[in-house]
């Protein structure tokens, strides 16, 4: 009888343990463990949102959480302890590896009379990113190479802000990333700068925290399939 009781007790413990595991898997804390926090430059919003959804569809139960901001803002948040698993920046940072190249262009509405960069020296209302952010640094260098003498009516804090004002029709032209034009080709077009080197922004990537799903997503971001998507979006892959 004592043996039967012992076996019964052991089986009940197994059932109880399985119930606890099931509860843990379905609990918010377990779900949080199956998530990936990706901090990425705002100019990656369109591309990475699509890539993240594809990854989630292929890995049921895994959530990719994105934070899209100016690279300098994200770097500051990470320095202050923000829980980023992966960081993709539009400027160089310690521990980062070269990943992508983007280039600034002059973006205008499709029906704009502006046809060349030098038209900015006329009566044109235009904007660019602030000097201290990557898209602004590239804009400064590219505009200098073209000998543009006028000044923008505003310096925006991030690339997405410049694009938003152009799409809203608030300005005649804007120095934006080529990828922004590709994503909005039915509304705007690009005028290329002659000095492509000065118009360049190099993105870097790094995995900041080691865990299974962050490593899996890091590999995914460097896969041929994802790099092909990024190339279609207007990026130059390393």
What pTM does this model have? 0.81
- Give me the domain span that covers residue 76: 2-99+203-237
The number of residues in the chain equals 238
Tell me what pLDDT residue 32 has.
57
Nearest to 43 by CA among 168, 174, 176: 176
112 and 60 in a common domain: no
Radius of gyration of the CA atoms of the chain, in A: 24
196 and 149 in a common domain: yes
Sign of CA dihedral 63, 65, 66, 71: negative
What's 45's domain CATH number? 3.40.190.10
Q: Contact at 8 Å (CB) between 169 and 109?
A: yes
53 and 139 in a common domain: no
Tell me what pLDDT residue 60 has.
94
24 and 72 in a common domain: yes
Question: Helix crossing, 45-58 with 212-221: angle to 10°?
Answer: 120
Residue 181, H or E segment: helix 178-183
Return the residue matching tokens 């360049």: 200
Sign of CA dihedral 57, 40, 95, 37: negative
41 and 18 in a common domain: yes
126 and 69 in a common domain: no
Q: What are the mean pLDDT values of the chain's consecutive 10-residue runs (238 residues total)?
A: 42 38 35 84 94 96 95 95 97 94 98 97 96 95 96 94 97 97 97 96 96 96 96 92
57 and 108 in a common domain: no
94 and 105 in a common domain: no
Provide the token pair at 217: 């997503």
Tell me what pLDDT residue 238 has.
72
Q: Contact at 8 Å (CB) between 127 and 155?
A: yes
């Amino acid at each position: 009888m004592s043996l039967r009781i012992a076996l019964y007790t052991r089986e009940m413990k197994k059932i109880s343990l399985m119930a606890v595991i099931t509860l843990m898997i379905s609990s918010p804390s377990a779900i949080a463990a199956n998530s990936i926090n990706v901090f990425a430059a705002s100019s990656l919003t369109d591309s990475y949102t699509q890539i993240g959804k594809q990854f989630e569809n292929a890995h049921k139960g895994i959530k990719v959480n994105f934070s899209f901001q100016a690279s300098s803002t994200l770097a500051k948040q990470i320095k202050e302890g923000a829980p980023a698993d992966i960081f993709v920046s539009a400027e160089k940072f310690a521990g980062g590896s070269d990943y992508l190249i983007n280039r600034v262009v002059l973006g205008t509405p499709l029906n704009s009379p502006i046809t060349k960069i030098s038209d900015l020296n006329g009566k044109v209302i235009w904007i660019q990113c602030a000097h201290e952010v990557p898209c602004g640094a590239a804009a400064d260098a590219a505009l200098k190479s073209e000998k543009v003498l006028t000044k923008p009516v505003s310096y925006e804090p991030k690339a997405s802000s410049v694009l938003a004002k152009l799409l809203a029709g608030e300005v005649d032209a804007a120095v934006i990333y080529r990828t922004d034009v590709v994503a909005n080709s039915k509304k705007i077009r690009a005028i290329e700068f002659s000095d492509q080197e000065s118009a360049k922004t190099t993105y870097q990537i790094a995995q900041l925290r080691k865990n299974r799903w962050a490593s899996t997503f890091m590999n995914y971001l460097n896969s041929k399939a994802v790099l092909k998507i990024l190339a279609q979006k207007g990026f130059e892959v390393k």
